Structures are given as structure tokens and as C-alpha cells.
Amino acid sequence: MDLHTVIRQLLPIIQDVIGGALKTSGAGVFGKMREVGSLAGFLRSAPQVFAGSELIKGLVSSLGDLDFSNMDLDDLDTGSVMDEVSNLDDLLSSAGLADEAENVKRFIFGLAENVAAASGSGVFGSGEKVSSDEASYLENLKSTLGL
């Protein structure tokens, strides 16, 4: 399986993981804008953090083209997101990219963690940065990823 096919298969999973982080944040409109905006910083640093990974480089490039600001979070089930995530090893292994699994998992968790820490529950994003719902989501994600 070629790299572009794997990237196309990973993008919906990553988008749902980010959606789960946004959904559990409890942030208002401006908080969600900050959370979505925080992705740009993470994506800018990812090629250096994951240097040498063509898969991560391709994911970064592709994620930069997605619009997260209008995601429909009402129908997003975080349990289903974890089911998707639990299949990453099989997906990467069947594509001959099992050696990339750890990088992809750390990349995905980093995205979710970055979103969760971007906005607090208080006025103008102040206050506690990671809500209890976000912390629970992140812990579940980390466990599902095997990190």
C-alpha cells in the first residue's frame, strides 16, 4: 500500500481524535477557535519532532488542508473514536509501516493533548486548561494507543 493511501486512511481517524478533544473541552466558541488554532503550532513543530518520518510529514501536510472549525461534534461518539484508534496497529502493519506505529501514535496523542491544553474553562480561556472530561478522554486515548 502506498504512503498516500495510508495517509488517506489515517486522516479521518485523526480528525475524529481531534473532534473528541474538542467535544470534551466544554469550551465556548472562542475557546474552540483557540483550540483549533493551536493545531497550527503543533503541525509546524511536528516535522522536526518526528524528523525522518515521511508518513508524519505527509500527515502534517494533509492536516494543514483540513477545516476543523466547522466540525459537527454533536454526533461524534468518543467511544467510536477509541474503536477507530484501536485499529491503528493493524492498519499500519498491513501497509508495511509497523515501524511507524509509535511515531503515529505519539503524533496523534500530541495533537489531542495540544487541543486539550489550548483553552481554559474561564473567561477568555483562563482557568484550568484541561477539564476533567478532557483529562479522561486523553487518558483513555493514551491507553488505547498503548502509550
For the segment 68-126, what is each residue's pLDDT rounded down to a tens digit? 667 777 888 999 999 999 999 999 999 999 999 999 999 999 999 988 887 655 444 45
> Taking the model in full, what pTM does it have?
0.86
pLDDT level of residue 59 (50, 70, 90 thresholds): very high
Q: Which domain range does residue 89 map to? A: 3-145
Would you place residue 127 in the very low, low, confident or very high pLDDT band (cuts 50, 70, 90)?
Answer: low
Give the total number of structural domains in the chain: 1
Residue 125's pLDDT is 47
What would the grid cell of residue 99 be? 515501524
pLDDT tens string 1-53: 799 999 999 999 999 999 898 888 766 655 566 676 778 888 999 999 999 99
Per the CB < 8 A criterion, the answer to whether 80 and 144 are in contact is: no
> Three-class SS string for 128-140?
CCCCHHHHHHHHH
Q: What is the pLDDT of residue 121?
A: 52
How many other CB atoms are there within 10 angstroms of residue 119's CB atom? 29
Give the chain as a DSSP string: --HHHHHHHHHHHHHHHHHHHHHHH---HHHHHHHHHHHHHHHHHHHHHTTT-HHHHHHHHHHTT---TT---TT--HHHHHHHHTTHHHHHHHTT-GGGHHHHHHHHHHHHHHHHTS--SSGGG-S-SS-HHHHHHHHHHHHHHT-
Residue that wins the pLDDT comparison between 66 and 110: 110
Report residue 10 as a C-alpha cell.
489515517
